[in-house]
Copies of this chain bind each other. A is one copy, B any other.
Amino acid sequence: MEIVDLILFNAEILTMDLDFHSYNPGAIAISGALIEAVGAENEILEKFDAAKKIDCGGKILMPGLINAHTHVPMTLLRGLADDLRLDVWLMGYMMPVEREYVSPDFVQLGTKLACAEMIRSGVTSFADMYYFEEEVAKATAAVGMRAVCSQTVLKFPTPDAQFFEESLEMSRDFISRWKNHDLIIPSVAPHAPYTCTPEILKSTAELAIEYDVPLHIHISETASEVENMRRENQMPVVPYVKKQNLFDAKVLAAHCVHLDEGEIHTLQHFGAGVAHNPSSNMKLASGFAPVKRMLEIGLNVGIGTDGPSSNNDLDMFEELRLASFIQKGYTGDPTALPARTTLLMATRLGAQAMHIGNLTGSLEHGKRADLILLDLTPLHNSPRFRHDPNGTYGQIVYAAKATDVTDVMVNGKWLMVDRILTSLDEPELMIHANEYARKIDQFLIKRESSVLSKLVAIGGTSEEESFEIQAKVRIHHPEIMIKKLLDSDIEIIRKRHFREFDLYFFFADVDQGILRYREDEFLDEQGKIEQVRSRLTLIGPTSEDKFEQEVLLSRSRYLAPATQSPRFYREYFKPHLEKEIEKDRIRYLVRYKDVEFFINFDEIKKPNLGCFLEVKSRTWSRQDAEMKSKLVTELIEFLGADFDEATSEDYIEMVR
């Protein structure tokens, strides 16, 4: 008799090993963190003895589930914003809130909250990618779960670093300190090809190779990511990252929704793992990943929940079911991704995708004791058929729920016993989580209450309040006036020719002002487009004061470069009403009596409102404004415009 620490017996064991061995009744012998043996109950009990023997009461005993891609601290952002487009969700909500709130404390709390939920759903290992990743590692190790913890590096400032060099240095420190930890596999995560420079991709790969740790990255999540890559680099995403030597490292590629056949073969060739994220890909409408094909070609494809802010939970039972359903629905083949294959993805293949297949993912001699007990007696599993040996896999994938998990062991230690967590205080976690939620609610309520603060939240404004003196007169023959101007002594500093497309957003609360999205096409002498520029302007009440002859003092508040599409701003700002104007503008910057003025000859083409002369100048004081007001009047008279045709209306006010 060999003596081990622990024997679990009277269980229906699914090993998920290469031959899908199963034993009913089966038993497992465990010494310390390691599995000594798995087999038929009578054989194990004949060969082994232990001080502690546990009767599993006929429950399913199987490897713990592997969550192959997530962002655990984002559990604190669950339900923050739903039903939005990826860019609005990410840049309008996630990133501004993360900039404001993500801290070591946030990350620790979010990780623990996530661990509690994952243990309850039978997860024993996960692959994470976030900021302050060492805090994720600390919290996870304290809880006792196994994880690949990947420190994010990207080309933008992040909550934990101003420049990518800092993140890279943090990654190196983190990896070198945690390299030989029993539960944590430290790793580096260049966030995605489109958020990293080639230099970042190369240097993170070098770091991962130097320490022989996994490299975690988002690959081809959306169609537009792939389109952009093809346009900018004349190749899809996988060859591009291959060019940066990424595959010299042990890569875990999350998503892989939009891959071509060649890219799948490349991933297979280099032994890269894939993390498929069913809920997230559906909820964010990213597309349907070709999982069936990836498996056929021999890729290690695991299943991940992604962050709970795009899921909105960490329930691997849901992901199992959805992974199978999606492949069936998307390939039109109901035999695609049968239950056993799907469960394999969430166990052994997932561990292999994370490059920890030597440690976990199946119940085999020498692997770590990472296992769960599943109680299939609750009514929603009833009845149970036995005629088909694959029936148990079907039961688990298509009918069982996370709440059927009763016990969870990681590395030989129980983390949940009879649905009680051993290493976490859930009520306390929830209290702290809701404290964060209240703070973030306040932040968002304040932000949502003002167009200006929403504008600031998505990238700030480049310029704040500015005042202008301006006059506008309807004209009929701009070419005659232009000739008069050019023939005069007035100094022409610069001439510009634009086509301007303006989209105005109006809000129910008029005090919010009007938000203008303007695209300027700069035209050269031949009328060809030289350059395009997009800007957002939040416009206050048009007129602050009025001088003689309809000369106005106006205020243009808050200018920002428009880095997103009009659609983004529409969905983000949710305007009450929209109007469009298109105009042709010839603009002269002139010096008249030592003062600079802009003279615009505008033709409003859509709607067809005719031609206008505008004269404008920046100002900063009432006295200056009064002086300039006089000069504006002189200039308009000189050019021969008729003050009876002057208007104090902005163009947008003329659009009915």
Interface residues of A, Cβ cutoff 8 Å to B: 76, 78-86, 89, 113, 116-117, 120, 279, 281-285, 287-288, 308, 311-315, 318, 321-322, 324-326, 328-329, 331-336, 338-339, 377, 379-380, 382-388, 390-391, 394-395, 398-399, 401-403, 426, 429-430, 433-434, 436-438, 440-442, 444-445, 448, 571
Contact = CB atoms under 8 A, between A and B. Distances in A.
B313 A380 contact: yes
B84 A387 contact: no
Contacts of A379: 113, 116-117, 120, 426, 429-430
A619 to B, nearest CB: 40
Nearest to A384: B437
B383 A437 contact: yes
Nearest to A81: B388
22 contacts: A81-B388, A82-B394, A83-B334, A83-B390, A84-B335, A85-B333, A113-B379, A120-B380, A279-B321, A283-B324, A283-B334, A283-B398, A285-B331, A285-B333, A285-B334, A315-B380, A318-B321, A322-B325, A380-B402, A383-B436, A385-B440, A385-B441
B387 A441 contact: yes
A245 B78 CA distance: 50
A634 to B, nearest CB: 53
A233 B533 CA distance: 57
Nearest to A89: B334
Contact of A383 (B86, B328, B395, B430): B430
Given A113-B379, A441-B387, A571 B398 contact: no
Contact of A380 (B117, B288, B334): B117
Contact of A399 (B76, B78, B338, B444): B78
A382 to B, nearest CB: 5
Given A79-B391, A314-B380, 9 more contacts: A78-B383, A80-B385, A117-B379, A287-B332, A383-B437, A385-B440, A387-B442, A401-B402, A403-B403
Contacts of A331: 285
A160 B402 CA distance: 38
A8 to B, nearest CB: 24
Nearest to A328: B285
Contact of A385 (B79, B279, B308): B79
A426 B445 CA distance: 47
Q: Which 10 A-B pairs have the closest CB atoms?
A: A383-B437, A282-B325, A83-B338, A312-B398, A383-B433, A82-B394, A282-B329, A285-B334, A387-B444, A387-B441
Nearest to A278: B325
Contact of A78 (B120, B339, B382, B429): B382
Contacts of A448: 387
A308 B381 CA distance: 10
A439 to B, nearest CB: 10
Contacts of A116: 379
Choose among A329, A339, A395, A440 the residue with the greatest number of B CB atoms under 10 Å from its CB: A329
A339 B83 contact: yes
Contact of A318 (B81, B281, B314, B318): B318
A336 B285 contact: yes
Contacts of A403: 401, 403
Contacts of A380: 117, 120, 313-315, 402
A387 to B, nearest CB: 4
A377 B322 contact: no
A135 to B, nearest CB: 18
Nearest to A433: B383
Contacts of A390: 82-83
A76 B383 CA distance: 6
A338 to B, nearest CB: 4
A325 B322 CA distance: 10
Given A329-B287, A335-B571, A401-B401, A384 B434 contact: yes
A329 B433 contact: no
A321 B401 CA distance: 15
Contacts of A440: 385, 387
A86 B328 CA distance: 12
Nearest to A82: B394
A394 B79 contact: yes
A377 B83 contact: no
Nearest to A321: B318
Interface centre among A113, A331, A399 (most CB of B within 10 A): A399
A386 B444 CA distance: 10
A82 B398 contact: yes
B395 A329 contact: no
Nearest to A438: B386
A219 B379 CA distance: 31
Contacts of A329: 281-282, 285, 287-288, 326
Contacts of A436: 383
Contacts of A444: 385, 387-388
B441 A79 contact: no
A329 B277 CA distance: 13
A370 to B, nearest CB: 21
Given A322-B325, A379-B429, A399-B313, A334 B284 contact: yes
A413 B386 CA distance: 38
A287 B438 CA distance: 42
